[in-house]
């Protein structure tokens, strides 16, 4: 069974009571979880939800608008500062990978764990993340290429 924690449901900008887009999907059989979108402030909401970045197995970014991804780099850096060493899967538009690489270079960010990128625009097959969790992407209609994700628990 999967458990859903809404980390942010606001669009565009946060409000006093709602953060921008973020959804944690946790496997009830263990502590593994998947993050869908990482708007600004998402890592604060992750802390409030008592989720560990050590148990994060994948990040899915629906599209490149800032309210869906501006919290990603800080989250990745925090995971590294908290001794994460396990590889992390990121399923996102390729622009997200480019943005992370440029930002890491310009800010001297060195992650102590590997990032395994999948360009969501090229991925329509089910991707096995762990022995119990898989992800499949689905194209949506929006101003920019956008995707939904099916999270499958085995």
Please give the domain boundaries of the chain with CATH numbers for all domains: 2-153 (3.60.15.10)
Chain Cα centroid distance, residue 69: 8
Query: Catalytic residue positions?
Result: 67
> Which ranges of the chain have pLDDT less than 50?
none
146-153 and 88-92 strand pairing? unpaired
pLDDT at residue 123 in the model: 78
Using only the alpha carbons of the chain, give its radius of gyration: 14
pLDDT at residue 143 in the model: 85
The pTM is what? 0.95
The Cα 19–Cα 122 span in angstroms is 30
Phi-psi region of 100 (alpha: psi -120 to 50; beta: other; left: phi over 0): alpha
């Amino acid at each position: 069974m999967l458990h859903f924690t809404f980390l942010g449901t606001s669009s565009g900008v946060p409000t006093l009571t709602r953060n921008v887009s973020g959804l944690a999907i946790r496997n009830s059989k263990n502590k593994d979880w998947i993050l869908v979108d990482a708007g600004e402030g998402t890592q604060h909401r992750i802390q409030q939800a008592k989720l560990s970045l050590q148990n994060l197995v994948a990040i899915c970014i629906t599209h490149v608008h800032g309210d869906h991804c501006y919290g990603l780099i800080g989250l990745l850096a925090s995971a590294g500062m908290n001794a994460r060493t396990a590889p992390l899967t990121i399923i996102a538009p390729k622009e997200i990978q480019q943005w992370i690489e440029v930002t890491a270079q310009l800010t001297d960010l060195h992650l102590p764990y590997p990032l395994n990128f999948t360009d969501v625009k090229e991925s329509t097959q089910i991707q096995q993340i762990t022995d119990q969790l898989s992800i499949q992407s689905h194209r949506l209609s929006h101003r920019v290429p956008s995707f939904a994700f099916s999270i499958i628990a085995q």
